Amino acid sequence: MVGKNALSLLENSEKDMSNPTGTFTCKLDSKGRLMLPADFREQLGSQAEEDFILRPGLHGTYLELYTVSDWNRRRDILMQVNTFDRRKLDIMRKYLDGVKRVKLDASGRIQIPKELLDRSGLVKDIVIDSMFTNMEIWDKTKYDERVNEISTEDLAKGVEDLFSGLNFGL
């Protein structure tokens, strides 16, 4: 039997969930609008009514999608950077280059700005992949290529290395 405190923790973590769980395939329309799948929007709950932040992917040609609350937490961290250090300021400037604020329209679509469409190579078939700190929006072909770069054996070894020594309370 799960204790009362554990249930309370679980309920609170689900309420605070910022990013949907799962990998979603969808289509980009001819105007650059991305219809977010119903399950994706349902998991977001009231956060779907907030703005979103889009930025070019840090490690490839994809987009990073943040709920505004997740972005604000990231912003609070970035605000602690010493802007008198030119190198750090240049890195922060480059990191913020291309950031756009977007929102869902009444039909559940996000308008992806043309600049970000061009930078990410998004055309029609799209994958939205849930990460723990944000979501990623990929061209389906590029996503499949990236995911398939890692073999099942390499994944198992990587997960073993990543979680080695951690106690999951089991």
Residue 167: per-residue pLDDT:
77
- What pTM value is reported for the model? 0.82
Asked if residues 96 and 88 have their Cβ atoms less than 8 Å apart, the reply is: no
State pLDDT tens for residues 31-76. 999 998 888 888 888 888 889 999 999 998 999 999 998 899 999 9
Domain tally, the chain:
1
The reply to whether 137 falls in a domain is: yes
Amino acid at 87: R
Give residue 56's domain range: 18-68+98-158
Model pLDDT, residue 96: 94
Domain presence at residue 32: yes
- Res 117 pLDDT > 90: yes
Rounded CA-CA distance 75/37 in Å is 27
Q: Helix, strand, or coil here: 128?
A: strand
Residue 29 falls inside a structural domain: yes
Average pLDDT (152-158) is 93
CATH number reported for the structural domain that contains residue 148 in this entry: 3.40.1550.20
Domain presence at residue 170: no
Q: What is the model's pLDDT at position 133?
A: 83
The answer to whether residue 12 sits within a structural domain is no
Residues 6+ apart with CB under 8 A from 88: 81, 82
The pLDDT-based confidence of 18 (bands split at 50, 70, 90) is low
Length of the chain equals: 170
| C-alpha R_g of the chain | 18
Tokens 């300021």 -> residue: 89
